Amino acid sequence: MKIRNTRYVLTVWLLILGLAAVAQKKKYVLVVHGGAGTILKKNMSAEKEQHYIAALTEALKTGYGKLRSGGTSLDAVEATIRVLEDNPLFNAGKGAVFTHDGRNELDASIMEGKILKAGAVAGVTTIKNPITAARAVMEKSEHVMLAGRGAELFAEEAGLTPVGPEYFRTEERWQGLQRALKADSARAVQDHDGKTSAVEPVINIDQKFGTVGCVALDQQGNLAAGTSTGGMTNKKYGRIGDSPVIGAGTYCNNATAGISCTGWGEFFIRNVVAKTVSDLIEYKGYTIDRAAGAVLDKVKEMGGDGGLIILDKQGNMAMPFNTEGMYRGAVTEDGKIEVLIYR
Ligand code: ASP
């Protein structure tokens, strides 16, 4: 009798502890990144660090506000990314890097996880907020990806704000191109890379980083993910990176997770990073951490680098990267914000 009682008490206690553990587990609802690369504290002024933290916090608050008021995960992703596109600190929208010809050509994509709808624009030069154009492609056209002038005309017809190409220009990015041209006029430079590039000194000078991405989970339990970028400094011939490529830079499926990547685009396309992470979860039963880690290792093995953010329907998230740092942040269901930069 006594043993049975002890067992009973023990079981009840274990149950209580288990429930407490579940209750304590953080549920994330929105994750954001602002690019991965050679981001070292020793190279960052306290002022600049504050600017990044403030920008990421503002973006997280904006997205969280949408979710809080019952908005969809798509609304949250779009609103969050627009904040970062409008901020010249990031290589997306205003402040995008320059092509070899001195232009700003922007790429973006968005995807929702319920019925796997997606939209993207590539190589656009007159759309103020490419993420909104990507969403318009998804919702107002029968296509998934539109490029160049066609995408711009579509965006105008869809009522988006057009801007002159000069809108995107910042002196800092322009100087970045001049340095890249001087170092190696033929080679495209990853905006956030310093170590693996042949033009290391060029990008180590002022440490500019900044493709942006977001994944959100709404109150209906639906996920959405999006990514926006200016691509790589000194890119040529209409080069398109992974960011607007569904399955490479962005992927989202309620059954697995929402994913947004940043890094050396060619390697992310060749490894179909976002979809491969999703597949490892779906078909091999990997956790989000294991799946993301495995694919990023593959990228590294092949000579590329970068990172990603991932969020699943249960509110589990991860923000792995194989560079020195990644601008990143997340917000939990109760509104608590976390922002990180370094390793
Ligand atoms: N992935 C982007 C590209 O290759 C660049 C980046 O994430 O910084 O266009």
Q: Output DSSP code: residue 272.
A: T
pLDDT tens digit sequence for 103-150: 999 999 999 999 999 999 999 999 999 999 999 999 999 999 999 999
Q: How far apart are CA 339 and CA 60, in angstroms?
A: 9
> 28-170+200-342 has which CATH code?
3.60.20.30
Mean pLDDT (whole number) for 145-157: 98
Closest by Cα among 278, 326, 330, 283 to 305? 326
62 catalytic? Reply is no
**What is the pTM for the complete model shown?**
0.90
pLDDT band at 5 (very low <50, low <70, confident <90, very high): confident
Two tokens at 279? 């597949």
Residue among 84, 105, 191, 309 whose CB has most ligand 1 atoms within 8 A, to mutate: 191
- Cα(256) to centroid(ligand 1), Å: 24
Q: What is the pLDDT of residue 25?
A: 84
Average pLDDT value for the chain: 91
Q: How far apart are CA 318 and CA 321, in angstroms?
A: 10
Instruction: Decide if 38 contacts 195 (C-beta within 8 A).
Output: yes
**Out of 6-20, 134-148, 155-169, 294-308, least confident range:** 6-20
Q: How far apart are CA 332 and CA 61, in angstroms?
A: 11
Question: 306 has which bridge partners?
Answer: 263
- Cα(77) to centroid(ligand 1), Å: 18
Does residue 272 register a pLDDT over 70? yes
Q: How far apart are CA 281 and CA 226, in angstroms?
A: 19
Pick the catalytic residue: 72, 211, 250, 276? 211
Percentage of residues in the chain having pLDDT higher than 70:
87
pLDDT tens digit sequence for 218-237: 999 999 999 999 999 999 99
Residue among 232, 268, 305 whose CB has most ligand 1 atoms within 8 A, to mutate: 232
- Of residues 7 and 270, more confidence is placed in 270
CA 94 to chain centre: 16
Q: Which residues contact 250 (CB under 8 A, 6 or more apart)?
A: 109, 110, 111, 118, 120, 213, 225, 226, 227, 243, 244, 259, 260, 261, 274
- Cα(323) to centroid(ligand 1), Å: 13
Two tokens at 186? 């033929």
Residues lining ligand 1, CB < 6 A?
35, 191-192, 211, 229, 231-232, 241-243, 262-263, 265
Does residue 191 register a pLDDT over 90? no
CA 77 to chain centre: 10
pLDDT tens digit sequence for 60-87: 999 999 999 999 999 999 999 999 999 9
Instruction: Decide if 137 contacts 143 (C-beta within 8 A).
Output: yes
Percentage of residues in the chain having pLDDT higher than 90:
82
Q: Output DSSP code: residue 163.
A: -
